[in-house]
Structure 1
Amino acid sequence: MATIVVNSVIEWIVKDCEKTLLERVLWIDNCRENAVTISLTDRSALPVWRTIDELENSLRQGEAIKRTIDPFLNSIREEDIKSRDREKRDKAWKVIEQLVKAEPDIYIKEKRGLVTLVATEFGVPKRDVYTWLRRFWMGGKVKNALLPHYHRCGAPGKDREITTSGKKLGRPRKATQINHEHKGINIDDDLKQIFRVSIQLYYDSKKKRPLTLAYEEMIRNHFVKGSRIVNGVVSGAIPPISELPSLGQFKYWFAKERDLKKSLIAREGERGFNLRHRAILGDSTSMSFGPGSIYQIDATIADVYLVSRYESMPIIGRPVIYTVIDVFSRMIVGLYVGLEGPSWIGAMMALANAASDKVAYCEQYGIDISEEEWPCHYLPERILADRGEMISSHADYLSNALDITITNTPPYRADFKGIVEQSFRLSNLRSIRWLPGAVTERFRERGEKDHRLDATLDLHQFTKVMINTVLYHNNSHFIRWYSRDEFMIADQVERVPTHLWNWGIHKRSGHLREISPDKLKLNLMPRDEGVVTERGLRFKGMHYSCERALREQWFERARASGNWKVPISYDPRNVDVIYYRSSDQLLVEPCELLERESRYKGKQLEEVRDLLELEKIEASVFETKELQAKVDYLSFNEAIIAEALEMKKNSSPKTISDKERVKNIKENHRKEKAKRREDDKWDLRPLNDSEMLTNTQSVIEIPMLSQENDIEKELVGGKTKHRTMLEMLKSQRKEGS
């Protein structure tokens, strides 16, 4: 364990704390029982008392480490010090010299009256005395710590003696070929402790940093010596590379001392470790007792380019092949060829195929087979998958709903997933590499035709090739390396997948299970939650409805009492329908997309997400224009109101009381309406008639009717008493002519 001495720098380890917590040991009593330290990160800190046992226990338990490089202690030659800086240093030293020598009294709070006495004696503010004391203590109890910007002093590129000593062990650094002084340092116990703590802080964490970044974080946080300003930003100043442990040393001690299980749990969590990394002892065959005991599933991108089946021969890239293999018999029990990248969608299609009738499946591609040629339409007890598409919440649903245990292979263990991978290799050798458009292993030479232009097969045709390959593998492939047990040997079982499968069905049954296709598909679908709202069952921004929702008045209840969530399943390739699942999982009901959202019909979920995201972006872009328009119309309204208030202020007679103003509202309304009608009336006569009236400026007097009843027509012999407006206009024209 590191020995604590005066000027030792202790770094306290606090997880999730971005600030580095450092303390310097200022004094230790003769009995090594008590020590005085000061914080190097708190600029207003004062010395504190600690026990040596407390510090040593913290180092021993990994709560703290002893820094091997002092971040505040720098060497600077006297001749390099500017004269004015030297004067400031000497002035400060003259003031505090007697104080810093008065140990341990200066560290005792009750005796800090000494500071006041010194400040009075030299005629300086007490604040300055404390500032100089802190700089002296923090800077390593050396006189030069009183220099301005001492923490940024030093000689970059020049070596200085550090705590590690002795001949450099291990392989010399490559830098020694240029400069023999760059030989590096040995790793002592202090550095090992820093390595351990750094791995714990920066590698074994949920952030999942790579080891290289963990090393850089260690250097940045535990090996800086002062600071420097780069582009206006304060950055840590690291010592020359010769004074630092190398990345190779860090990796060496990481590998040597690493607790793999503990590290994986720290990075992945207990559940993630059990799901992805726990050991699976023994080879795959020995773990599988009979057909259906274990299926292995994996995906690979085929080494061939295909063309479109729907358009005129455009190249669509390379397909993805999903294969499901029974570990016991090496029978390929499930196959899916598509364009889905390695994902749960492709995996669920392969699993659905594993449990489906293969005679009907092959018939879809024009291939006639008998049940005996591909007798696989079952689910297994356990599925062993690679660490990818099967590691998801969907796998948990599969496990819970169908009682299938999902096991994922640990990293770097090719022996656990080798059966499927060997199947891919054999498929490539037998079929794919000879197809037009196949990817060659060598680089294309200059002038040579691009192999992608040879693409000829479409996805349907390539699937037929793969089905044919599977049929050959299952019925004719002799597995030379298959290890038969004594019972198989006694029964003279041939090492061919169908023979091993059929023998296992009769002698090692009990692991396979059947399930209806619809139930399997429903349980393979991804699950999520929809929200019942007054506008429908909302899912991913779309709204749905179903008979149950209408019958039980979900949407009316949501409007009255608020929204709630319900479990659903969905196929991301078709958003036209989702499936409501009751909480007890006994009821499943399809929910159709509402008619008002027909723009989503026939779309895939990714397309809908893209559309909604695009609309969000468009709304965000228009937000500035909309906000500006709001500001403009509010300003315009305010101007109108201000004008009206000014008119009101200038026109309202001050003699009229408020009571009188509100008394005649009805009469005022009638007058205002009459004037408004006069202003708004329509005149649809030809333009020349209007111009004539305008030019003559004729005015036709119409008798004012005082009583409402006068408006009624007074008939005299079936004719009106008053002339009509039209008659008056005609008379006026005659007079004008």
Structure 2
Amino acid sequence: MVNFLINYVLVPVLESSIAKTILRIIDTDNHSGQLLVISLEHQLKKPWVVGFEEVSFELEQGILRMDQDVPAAYMLKPEDELSEKEKSSRETSWRLIRELVEGKNAGDLFIDGEFGKRVADHAAVSNTSRAMIYKLLYRYWAYGQSKNVFLWQSSNWGAPGKRKIYKDDVQPGRPPLYRGVVKADRAIRVTDFDLTCIEVAFLRYVNKKEGSVQKAFDWMVKNYYREVLSDGTIGDVKRGKHPTITQFRHYSKLYFDRLAILKSQAGEIRWLKDHRAIKGSAVDGLVGPTHRYEIDATIADIYLVHRINRNWIIGRPVLYIVVDAYSRMIVGVHVGLEGPSWEGARHALYNAFTSKVEYCKRYGIEIDEKEWPCHHIPKEVSADRAELLSNAGEEFSNTLDVILKIAPPYRPDWKSIVESRFKLINQGLSLKFLPGGVDARRNERGDRDYQLDARYDLDQFTAIIINQILYHNATLHLPHLATNDMVRDEIELYPIGLWNWGMRNSLLNIKNRSDTEIKIALLPSALATVRRSGIYFKGVFYTCDLAEHEEWFAKAHNFGIQRIKVWYDPNSADNVWIRDRSSFIRLEIVDYLKEKYSGFRLEEVVDRIAILGQASPDKEYERLNRAARTRDANDEIDAQAKAMKKAAPPPPSRAAAKSNKLANRRTEVELLRAADSAELSELSHPNVPPQPATQPQQASKPEPSGRKKVVLSLVSSKLQRTE
């Protein structure tokens, strides 16, 4: 969720449905999810309300950008430079609205739609017009909610910055010499046209269209200071009529300073990473342990082998580290084979939020709780976009009430503490000298491939990492983190010492949850549907006691399917949960599907269902052929029926065509019964020998079947009776 700050401005970049001009945020309401904004257009108007979700969507899509504007120069003038009249004018305006805004939120005036009434009442008490109160309020909100917005909008900057005016007989600059002789080509009197040419040409250098200042100068001379011949062609350069390269460099500073040029040449990514100013430290604003955890992943510089067959190389593992920014304590770790993703990050976070005693015992390391006493939920988690910028990461944030801080792309300095932990671990372990370690030196021809030296499996390497983390937490000396209170208490300035001291003196409300709640919160979630046969998710039907007791499936059958949120473990189709108020209920696969899907990974189940649902190419070809033949047969029947309908005499009227439907139906029933009786009578003499076939002299029409004979006779008799 975007953090909206009062007095920040929303600038439309593309066509926006919210902002036609620049808007200023003058109040926020997190409870209702709304912003109060005012337009900065010339004629100030009444503020209005927009929703968090609408603004967040346009910020994410790049339609809007949120920024902090630069206050006008007149608002920043020191008090000693203000005249008494200007101060008096400011105080007069401030007194007229002070009671409405001082110590209050802008949104308070708009509660219950009583803004106009409140302004009218205040205007009556202040003995002034409502229009004046509105004007002052809008100006106060639009320009930053400071008393100085009522200063006079004028500044007297004096002579600096103005171009020098030369006398008619004076040439600018020192006379240039060439071998002791004054050159004829010298600096010119720069006009407004020359300044425009310099600005346009130097901008090409700033925008990297020209590789150097000299090339930008040459471009300017080529395009702006050439003679035009009578036939319309371009001639030589106007000698002595263009600014010199020195003037070009000097006057370009009027438009671009050195820092702006460096920013442009370096690019935003390199500027932020390598050239920006470093202010403060990584612990500024932190009040104790668990205030902020930083998480990141790296691919370890070592090759591992398979646990079953030691000759199988499984590649390099992915190492996740979670660090407490306040104490530099490594509070969580995970070694796996899945690349930087939520799947790996959730294991590391679960490790950071739970006790480490059982975790270490799993790898053969016995520790006491006091050796690694980190099992708390932090207030903030700082991470890369790859791991936590997802629906699962947002769900984890909402469930455990943790604030996510996602670093922008190419900004490792936003989580510099965890980045430096990788360096310390690599230095401490000297991974490139371990068996299977990636040697930083270039291999020479004939050298042994270091991959072939791999001997550690995943569990053994995890145990090595745990030992190194315990060493780091107990021995890394951090004197630069000492505060006056720490010095007074004479604590040992190591991560575990800072952690323990901070936990005793922390101002934070330390949060703890059960292991089950933490694990559920870290699992991905999705929507399932409640149907007649069960809770349908990923092609599998589930059930639970709650659903059966409240008859969810019968309700879905009679009143329509419903959607329900489920949490699931991708590693097992059996691990699916739903939430009932504050508790989680595990779903069970319905009995008739357990044998098919129980014990498999969810991805395997989805793949199986998808594969079984596919038809082979031969079967699809056969289906298409059969469909074509079926359509041909039906079309032939339709043609026959159409011809017979056309041959029959038309009814005298529509009413006559629709009359006697019951009588006609009874007649048809009689025909069907007679035909069925005729077919049964033929079946009653199965032993009658067939008559020998004789060769006909002429082709004759085939004899009608017994069923057809009966039908024809009944029809003819019916027609005779009607006649």
Q: TM-score, normalised by structure 1?
A: 0.52
1:21-36 alignment runs, 5 A limit: none
Q: CA deviation at 1:641?
A: 7.8
1:561-600 alignment runs, 5 A limit: 561-582=559-580, 585-597=581-593, 598-600=595-597
Corresponding residue for residue 546 of structure 2: 548
The Cα offsets for residues 262-295 of structure 1, whole Å up to 9 and x where unpaired, read as xx9xxxxxxxxxxxxxx99843222322111211
Corresponding residue for residue 626 of structure 2: 629
1:410-429 alignment runs, 5 A limit: 410-429=408-427
Instruction: Please tell me whether residue 669 in structure 1 is matched to residue 676 in structure 2.
Output: yes
Given the alignment, which residue of 604, 607, 610 partners 2:604? 607
CA contact 1:409–1:416 (8 Å) conserved in 2: yes
The whole-number CA distance in structure 1 between the counterparts of 2:492 and 2:318 is 32
Taking structure 1 as reference, are residues 433 and 511 closer, same or farther at Cα in structure 2, changes over 3 Å only?
farther
User: Which letter does structure 2 place at the counterpart of 1:530?
Assistant: A
Taking structure 1 as reference, are residues 284 and 612 closer, same or farther at Cα in structure 2, changes over 3 Å only?
farther
Taking structure 1 as reference, are residues 165 and 454 closer, same or farther at Cα in structure 2, changes over 3 Å only?
same
Does the residue aligned with 1:369 lie in a helix, a strand or coil?
Answer: coil
Given the alignment, which residue of 497, 503, 526 partners 2:501? 503
Taking structure 1 as reference, are residues 334 and 287 closer, same or farther at Cα in structure 2, changes over 3 Å only?
same
The whole-number CA distance in structure 2 between the counterparts of 1:188 and 1:567 is 66
Q: CA deviation at 1:388?
A: 2.4
The whole-number CA distance in structure 1 between the counterparts of 2:369 and 2:587 is 37
Taking structure 1 as reference, are residues 486 and 187 closer, same or farther at Cα in structure 2, changes over 3 Å only?
farther
The whole-number CA distance in structure 2 between the counterparts of 1:640 and 1:676 is 28
Corresponding residue for residue 471 of structure 2: 472
CA contact 1:176–1:182 (8 Å) conserved in 2: no
The whole-number CA distance in structure 2 between the counterparts of 1:371 and 1:613 is 48
User: Which letter does structure 2 place at the counterpart of 1:604?
Assistant: R
User: Which letter does structure 1 place at the counterpart of 2:596?
Assistant: R
1:348-367 alignment runs, 5 A limit: 348-367=346-365
The whole-number CA distance in structure 2 between the counterparts of 1:616 and 1:444 is 51
The Cα offsets for residues 558-605 of structure 1, whole Å up to 9 and x where unpaired, read as 1111111012111112122311113xx324211122344443333333
Taking structure 1 as reference, are residues 661 and 541 closer, same or farther at Cα in structure 2, changes over 3 Å only?
closer
Corresponding residue for residue 462 of structure 2: 463
Q: CA deviation at 1:495?
A: 2.3
The Cα offsets for residues 148-169 of structure 1, whole Å up to 9 and x where unpaired, read as xxxxxxxxxxxxxxxx979965
The whole-number CA distance in structure 1 between the counterparts of 2:562 and 2:535 is 10
Corresponding residue for residue 276 of structure 1: none
Taking only the aligned residue pairs, the percentage that are identical comes to: 36
CA contact 1:283–1:416 (8 Å) conserved in 2: no
The Cα offsets for residues 634-684 of structure 1, whole Å up to 9 and x where unpaired, read as 32455578789999999xxxxxx98977645434312202324667x9x9x
Does the residue aligned with 1:351 lie in a helix, a strand or coil?
Answer: helix
Q: CA deviation at 1:436?
A: 1.8
**Structure 2 spans left out of the alignment, 5+ residues:** 1-12, 17-195, 225-259, 648-662, 694-723
Q: CA deviation at 1:415?
A: 3.3
Does the residue aligned with 1:603 lie in a helix, a strand or coil?
Answer: coil
The whole-number CA distance in structure 1 between the counterparts of 2:523 and 2:279 is 31
CA contact 2:357–2:368 (8 Å) conserved in 1: yes
CA contact 2:287–2:507 (8 Å) conserved in 1: no
Corresponding residue for residue 533 of structure 1: 531
CA contact 1:176–1:183 (8 Å) conserved in 2: no
CA contact 2:492–2:498 (8 Å) conserved in 1: yes
The whole-number CA distance in structure 2 between the counterparts of 1:503 and 1:543 is 52
CA contact 2:432–2:440 (8 Å) conserved in 1: no
Does the residue aligned with 1:380 lie in a helix, a strand or coil?
Answer: coil
Taking structure 1 as reference, are residues 171 and 415 closer, same or farther at Cα in structure 2, changes over 3 Å only?
closer
1:708-719 alignment runs, 5 A limit: none
Instruction: Please tell me whether residue 559 in structure 1 is matched to residue 542 in structure 2.
Output: no
More moved, 604-613 vs 487-496: 604-613
The Cα offsets for residues 234-258 of structure 1, whole Å up to 9 and x where unpaired, read as xxxxxxxxxxxxxxxxxx9996699
The whole-number CA distance in structure 1 between the counterparts of 2:681 and 2:301 is 87
The whole-number CA distance in structure 1 between the counterparts of 2:216 and 2:378 is 64
1:215-230 alignment runs, 5 A limit: none
Corresponding residue for residue 125 of structure 2: none
Does the residue aligned with 1:398 lie in a helix, a strand or coil?
Answer: helix
The whole-number CA distance in structure 1 between the counterparts of 2:574 and 2:512 is 29
User: Which letter does structure 1 place at the counterpart of 2:675?
Assistant: N
The Cα offsets for residues 604-647 of structure 1, whole Å up to 9 and x where unpaired, read as 33334444554566579965553332122332455578789999
The whole-number CA distance in structure 2 between the counterparts of 1:612 and 1:259 is 49
Q: CA deviation at 1:362?
A: 1.0
Q: CA deviation at 1:448?
A: 2.9
More moved, 320-329 vs 627-636: 627-636
Q: TM-score, normalised by structure 2?
A: 0.53
The whole-number CA distance in structure 1 between the counterparts of 2:509 and 2:582 is 25
Q: CA deviation at 1:417?
A: 1.1
Q: CA deviation at 1:471?
A: 0.9
Corresponding residue for residue 451 of structure 2: 452
Given the alignment, which residue of 367, 371, 380 partners 1:382? 380
Does the residue aligned with 1:607 lie in a helix, a strand or coil?
Answer: helix
Q: CA deviation at 1:467?
A: 0.8
The whole-number CA distance in structure 1 between the counterparts of 2:211 and 2:467 is 62
Instruction: Please tell me whether residue 513 in structure 1 is matched to residue 511 in structure 2.
Output: yes
Instruction: Please tell me whether residue 304 in structure 1 is matched to residue 311 in structure 2.
Output: no
The whole-number CA distance in structure 1 between the counterparts of 2:266 and 2:684 is 93
More moved, 667-676 vs 291-300: 667-676
The Cα offsets for residues 342-370 of structure 1, whole Å up to 9 and x where unpaired, read as 12222221121112221221111111112
The whole-number CA distance in structure 1 between the counterparts of 2:591 and 2:373 is 44
The whole-number CA distance in structure 2 between the counterparts of 1:174 and 1:407 is 37
CA contact 2:294–2:382 (8 Å) conserved in 1: yes
User: Which letter does structure 2 place at the counterpart of 1:673?
Assistant: L
Corresponding residue for residue 494 of structure 1: 492
**Structure 1 spans left out of the alignment, 5+ residues:** 1-12, 17-163, 190-251, 265-278, 651-656, 684-692, 698-737
The whole-number CA distance in structure 1 between the counterparts of 2:401 and 2:499 is 22
